[in-house]
Structure 1
Amino acid sequence: MVSGRRTNLDGRSSPLGAAERVQWSAAMRATFLDHLAATCNVSAAAEAARVCKTSVYQIRRRDADFAAQWEEALALGYQMVETRLIGHVLAGLTRVDRMDERGDAPAIDFEAALKLLSQHRNATAKPHKGRKPTFAAPDDTDRVLLERLRVIEARRARAPMQLIHQAATAEAVSDGE
């Protein structure tokens, strides 16, 4: 969690707290997503946006657009890490040679980068733990609910006829004995 103070949109400073509900601005989102794409590190990206990691995960659960932007930023980050690793190797450097900062991209530990890419490749081939949230359009949910109500009404309309048929069948069986 980030400790210390956060600069509010009005320029004043306020303390950060674990349970604080952050009002996300467009600049905060952009900072978080840019840093996530550069580092593939949620904690570091949250710190760069001056919010706690819990707040980041909360908004991802609530906001489908933000969740999609998050996934896109991570995909870009993985591509960036992979590109830097390939460039490192093609330059004739080895695991022990440091991968320094380049522009906005931070220094990368070679072994950590390999592990990150390996985990990412394995994760994309496997189903995610839990269900990924999906959001249906209101027209779709209305259509599904109306269809279910139609099925229920049809069952209710058939029920008295089925009871009459069952009673008649039971009576015919008992008469034949």
Structure 2
Amino acid sequence: MAKRNWETTFINELAETSNVKAATKAAGVSQSLVYKRRRQSAEFAARWYAALAEGYDSLEMDLLARLREGRLEDVDEDGNKRKYDIGTAFRCLLAHRESVAREKGRQTLQDEVITMREINAKIDAQRAREERAAELEAKRQSTSRDGE
């Protein structure tokens, strides 16, 4: 599997399961490889943390839905019942609450930086257009005075 493919598969599975072991299995790579990649690549690490934040959001929504519906077990396609472990879900959410909040804050800050960069680029472009228009107007006035 090509490098990009395993990374994408790993990140997608991590977002779906919030489980590094399951994600490495789905990607066909070792846990040591993904942890090494995370240490070496800031971009991969950012994608990793964003996937975990997405996964925990999903877990939280699933937990809320189950509590509201009173659905504490599922039945798989073979008819086997699987009890949903509410306590473990809560402990998992609490254990990672701070890191997820930190990641969401980082994403918000990054979004704000991008927005400010885009606003500044638009302001700079507008200023450049105004300066060009002023230069053209000055040139036009100079030309019309020379013609008099």
Equivalent-residue separation in structure 2 for 1:50 and 1:74 (angstroms): 19
**Which residue in 2 is equivalent to 1:119?**
95
**Which residue in 2 is equivalent to 1:79?**
57
Equivalent-residue separation in structure 2 for 1:29 and 1:53 (angstroms): 12
Q: CA 1:100–1:74 in structure 2 vs 1: closer, same or farther (change >3 Å)?
A: farther
Counterparts of residues 39-50 of structure 1 (less than 5 Å): 39-50=17-28
What SS does the corresponding residue of 1:51 show, helix, strand or coil?
coil
**Which residue in 2 is equivalent to 1:88?**
66
What is the TM-score with the length of structure 1 in the denominator? Answer: 0.49
Q: Does 1:53 align with 2:28?
A: no
Q: CA deviation at 1:50?
A: 0.6
Q: Does 1:109 align with 2:85?
A: yes
Q: Note if contact 1:98-1:110 (Cα within 8 Å) is conserved in structure 2.
A: no
Q: CA deviation at 1:123?
A: 4.9
Q: Which has the larger radius of gyration?
A: 1
Q: Does 1:27 align with 2:5?
A: yes
One-letter identity of the residue aligned with 1:77: G
| % identity of equivalent residues | 36
| Count of residues in correspondence between the two structures | 96
What SS does the corresponding residue of 2:73 show, helix, strand or coil?
coil
Q: Note if contact 1:46-1:52 (Cα within 8 Å) is conserved in structure 2.
A: yes
Q: Note if contact 1:99-1:109 (Cα within 8 Å) is conserved in structure 2.
A: no
Q: CA deviation at 1:124?
A: 5.7
Residue segments in structure 2 that go unaligned for 5+ positions in a row:
77-81, 103-148
Equivalent-residue separation in structure 2 for 1:90 and 1:100 (angstroms): 18
Q: CA 1:118–1:65 in structure 2 vs 1: closer, same or farther (change >3 Å)?
A: same
Higher helix residue share: 2
Q: CA deviation at 1:92?
A: 2.5
**Which residue in 2 is equivalent to 1:98?**
73
C-alpha distance after superposition, 1:105-156 (max 9, x if no partner): xx85333211110101255689xxxxxxxxxxxxxxxxxxxxxxxxxxxxxx
